[in-house]
Structure 1
Amino acid sequence: MALSSSQTRYLRSLAHDLSPVVLLGNKGATDAVVKELNGALDIHELVKVKLSGGDKDERKAQIDFLVDGTRSEKIHQIGHIVVLFRRNADEPKIALPR
């Protein structure tokens, strides 16, 4: 699902006040983290994730692994924080603008 620029801006504004739900440790992005993140996306749809340390390439690899593993979309990234969104097909909680 491709989001429009207005939908992305709206989701970024909603994510501003969120606290990170998933924190990556020293091992980085693993299958267990993807499983936990799937559960969080099912419940919240919009989730903030705090990445483990490392350079830009390592963080990008972690984000790509999480996005591919959860079939979500990256909304925004600043430093070690990334915001992911996945629409709950059964019970959508966030009403997106057109």
Structure 2
Amino acid sequence: MTLTGKQKRFLRAEAHHLKPIFQVGKGGVNENLITQIEEALEVRELIKVSILQNCFEDKHQVADELAQGAGAHKVQVIGNTIILYKESENQKSIELP
């Protein structure tokens, strides 16, 4: 399933007030980070991840790796912030338009 433009706009608005709960640094993307992001997505459905200055990987590549690894949708990459969405199996709180 791919998100439509309308759904992405809705999710961006929902994510606006969120603070990043994960940071990607010089270690880049690793298994541990992906596992933590999967768990956070199950609880929250929508999260922000910030990319630190010392991360040498391309931010779009980092976003793709995280989304793929966690089985989530990349909603947006804006500045050094990535917004990810994944529908929760047990705690569904966000109704997509």
CA deviations over 1:47-78 (Å, ceiling 9, x no partner): 000013356x6222211211110011111111
Could you say which residue in structure 2 is the equivalent of 1:26?
26
The normalised TM-score by structure 1 is: 0.88
Q: For the residues of structure 2 that align with 1:30 and 1:79, how far apart are their CA atoms?
A: 21
Aligned residue identity for 2:67: V
Q: Secondary structure of 2:18's match?
A: coil
Aligned residue identity for 1:78: I
Deviation at 1:88, TM superposition (A): 1.0
Could you say which residue in structure 1 is the equivalent of 2:11?
11
Deviation at 1:43, TM superposition (A): 0.4
The normalised TM-score by structure 2 is: 0.89
Could you say which residue in structure 1 is the equivalent of 2:39?
39
Q: For the residues of structure 1 that align with 2:29 and 2:43, how far apart are their CA atoms?
A: 20
The number of residue pairs the alignment matches comes to: 96
Contact 1:22 1:48 in 2 (8 A): yes
Could you say which residue in structure 1 is the equivalent of 2:2?
2
Percent of matched pairs sharing the same residue? 29
Q: For the residues of structure 2 that align with 1:4 and 1:61, how far apart are their CA atoms?
A: 21
Could you say which residue in structure 2 is the equivalent of 1:58?
58
Q: Secondary structure of 1:84's match?
A: strand
Q: For the residues of structure 1 that align with 2:90 and 2:5, how far apart are their CA atoms?
A: 24
Structure 1 unaligned runs (5+)? none
Deviation at 1:36, TM superposition (A): 0.7
Deviation at 1:79, TM superposition (A): 1.4
